[in-house]
Amino acid sequence: MKLLKKQGMNLCFAVIVAVLAAMPLLLQSGVLTASSIILYLGKCIAFAIVAMGLDLIWGYTGILSLGHGLYFALGGYAMAMYLKLQATGGSITDFMHVGGLTELPMIWKPFQTLTGAIVMLFIVPTVVSGLIGCFIFKNRVKGVYFSIISQALTWATYSIFIALSPYTNGNVGITEIQTVLGSIRGEKNSGNMFLLFYGVLLLMVLTYALCRFLTTRKFGKLLVAIRDGENRTYFSGYQVSHYKTFAYVLSAIMAAVAGAVFVNFNGSITPSQMTISHSITMVIWVAVGGRGTIIGAVIGAFLINLCEYNLSSGGLVDVWQYIIGAVFVLTILFMKDGLVGLFCEQLPALLHKERKPKVDLTQKAQKGA
């Protein structure tokens, strides 16, 4: 049964990948007419990557982070700074001129090359999350206290990015940027768009494979043990803080990579991507899909965002946030394991209960006599 469940999850992911891989072909053949759907699916892939990382620490380790938007935005800014410098030829940007800067700030110089940007993309979230993890987990801070701290750190970083307007362009953020492959908009650039799309699709597949590899080995079992009984695991001789820190850092890196992918399809990054509300939305993706499954995070990210793409327009734009909030509440109340738990456990158990033959208590008593 467990093997069937495992293979079913992998099969479900394979179907999702196959459908996504077919989308550019459908656009090229004329079945789809709007290239914007490919751009939006590219952003959904980024959301799926960050959701898998969040599931790794929340679903498996029991660490509820309400500040993962911070790492998502850090990765987005790292990529956006490189792309902006490519657009300006390495010179200072227009908002730097407005802010009174006359030369490129030192903090921007590592992002003049793609290699430097990629290195910073990994170093910055690793250092930030590593310091947070070492300080918090070694002091055995957990539960709601960690969630509050993650929110506070995200809000503090958001305020810093707004205050450093000459360096970050404040609320506006970094806009009017292309991709690592150049422009992907317009029919003549469709080749770049398809190549970028398949590249990030492969990245999502590798991320899923990494998460499945970790969670199906001893490491994953230890994460679950920490989630279900941290004290018991600690007194069994395991360095709980080391495992929690590693999972948290890995999740932060995945969020940063997702942010870099998002920027390529979105064409901009703003501080709004690191707000608490955006971090909570990420948690909703994992909760709705089903935490502790990895595939549930992917399903939730695509489902919620595709619903938003189709419903948050016209008369529903003002009530979309209420809709997603209601979905989250219903999930917590009636589907604690999300959609994956509903279809893999709750519905089969209900059907098995209904099919179970009723026992005649009178006949049973007579046989006993």
φ/ψ of 257, rounded to 5, equals: -60, -40
What token pair was written down for 161?
Answer: 């990015």
Q: What is the pLDDT of residues 307-354, one digit of tens each?
A: 887 776 666 667 777 888 888 888 888 887 888 887 776 656 656 565
Question: Which of 81, 267, 118, 113 has the alpha carbon at shortest distance from 92?
Answer: 81
User: With contact defined as beta carbons under 8 Å apart, do 76 and 255 qualify?
Assistant: no
Contacts of range 347-353, beta carbons closer than 8 Å, 24 or more positions apart: none
Residue 205 half-sphere exposure toward CB, CA atoms < 13 A: 14
Question: Alpha-carbon distance 18 to 13, whole Å?
Answer: 9
Question: Alpha-carbon distance 306 to 320, whole Å?
Answer: 12
Question: Which of 248, 261, 291 has the alpha carbon at shortest distance from 129?
Answer: 248
Comparing 205-214, 230-239, 261-270, 326-335, which segment has the lowest mean pLDDT?
Answer: 326-335
pTM: 0.90
**Whether residue 159 has pLDDT greater than 80:** yes
CB-based contacts of 131, cutoff 8 Å, min separation 6:
none
User: With contact defined as beta carbons under 8 Å apart, do 194 and 10 qualify?
Assistant: no
**Whether residue 26 has pLDDT greater than 80:** yes
Question: Alpha-carbon distance 287 to 275, whole Å?
Answer: 19
**Residue 368 has what pLDDT?**
52
Residue 263 half-sphere exposure toward CB, CA atoms < 13 A: 34
Question: Which of 138, 82, 81, 67 has the alpha carbon at shortest distance from 115?
Answer: 82
SS3 190: helix
Q: What is the pLDDT of residues 342-358, one digit of tens each?
A: 777 665 665 656 565 55
